[in-house]
Every structure is written in C-alpha cells, then in structure tokens.
Amino acid sequence: MTTKRIQWQRIALLASGISASMVSVAWGQPVKPSIASATLNQPLNQIAIVGKGFTPAAGAPSVKLGGSLLTVASWSDSVIVADTPPGLAAASYLLTVNNGLIGGFVVALDPRFGANTSLAAAGTGALCTVGQVMLTAGFVANGIPATGQLLPIAGNTPLFTLLGNLYGGDGVTTFAIPDLRGVAPNGLTYTICTLGVFPSPN
C-alpha cells in the first residue's frame, strides 16, 4: 500500500471589512484537485474558491461549509462560486469540495467593523439617488438601514427595478436589500435610498 503523503497549503479568506487568518490545511494523498484560495464576499453572501481540478466525474461540483451543503452559483475547473448563509459568523470552518477536498479557514471580523451598527432610524433628508448607499453617524438616516431586510415590491417599485431579487426575496411580491451591517464601521449605519431621483444611463 502506498503511504499517504501530507501536503500543506494555506488558504486566505479575504473580503471588504473581513480580515483573513492564514491557516494550514492538511490534505491526504493521492488528491488530484487543489484549492489555492477561498474569498468571502460578505455583501453578496458568496464564497469564491480558486484552485484546479474541480470538475467532477459527472454533474456539478458539490461544496460544503462545515456540514451545510451550499448552492453552487457558477463553476469551472478552476473557480467555484457558491452561496453562503447570510451574516456568516466569525468562526473556524471546514470547506469540502466534491466530498473529499477539504480545507480549513478562519473567518475573523475586523474589530473596526460590524459592532453596534445600523442604529440609525430610517428618515428623509437631502435628495438622493434611488439605490444609492450612504453612511451616517447620526441617529436618523437618509433612507433605510441596509440590514438585508425583505421589502414589498408594491410601494418600492423604483428600488426593485434597480435591485431585482439579487439580494433575496421571491422577485414576485418581495425583494431584499443588501445586508451591510458587518462591513459598516463601528457605530455607523449604512443606508440605501428608497425615495429620490431614479438614475438613468448616460
């Protein structure tokens, strides 16, 4: 029997407002595929896995975060993009590709972001552009806090026209706005303009 060799690689988890902890990943041999990096896009709730040999013998690749099976949004032999649960907490996770390729990584929140955010109440102020994201330090904001909440399409048609159901909702009666709490500087609130000037292309 061939003795299994152990190969060490490192995975960096990067995102706006997220710091990456570099961790060692032990892989049993023989393993043909490999992971080079995993990047978390927290506002979109997606993880991009870069490597090689991701194409399975049949069908699409499978991705698990811990014990949870993720929905694969797109993939090629070298890149997999999968949806992650909203508001992924700071913790250590195992990433499994095709039921055998395992990598470990740590999600560590930057201490400058994500604490005591979205405290401002929704309000109106200066004229803004529908869909515009703004940052406020006050207790009343221009627009509504961007906390990933579902909104009814009825009464919010201009904003839905711009966002669709990119951030959630069924796209028939509801849609969601992005959840920016985790990337807001401590004590501040990201808001999105719902009432204002509808943008038009040049």
How many other β-carbons are positioned within 10 Å of the β-carbon of residue 83? Answer: 15
- The string of DSSP letters for the chain reads -PPPPEEEEEE---BTTEEEE-EEEEEESS---EEEEEEEETTTTEEEEEEE----SSS---EEETTEEEPEEEE-SSEEEEE--TTPPSEEEEEEETTTEEEEEEEEE-TTBSSS---SBPB--S--BTT-EEEE-SSB-SBEE-B--EEESTT-HHHHHHHTTTTSS-SSSEEE--B-GGGSBTT-EEEE--SSBPP---
- The string of DSSP letters for 8-29 reads EEEE---BTTEEEE-EEEEEES
Render pLDDT for 10-68 as a digit per residue (tens, 0 to 9): 333 333 333 333 333 333 443 467 778 887 776 678 888 888 888 887 888 888 888 88
Mean pLDDT confidence for 92-110: 72
Confidence (pLDDT) at 146: 94
- Whether domain 6-109 has CATH 2.60.40.10: the reply is yes
Confidence (pLDDT) at 44: 76
* Alpha carbons 151 and 154: distance in angstroms, whole number: 9
* Alpha carbons 10 and 34: distance in angstroms, whole number: 11
Window from 11-20, 75-84, 109-118, 165-174 with minimum mean pLDDT: 11-20
Is the pLDDT at 77 greater than 50? The verdict is yes
Could you give the percent of the chain with pLDDT greater than 90? 37
Please state the separation of Cα 189 from the chain's center in Å: 18
Give the residue extent of every domain in the chain. Answer: 6-109, 133-192
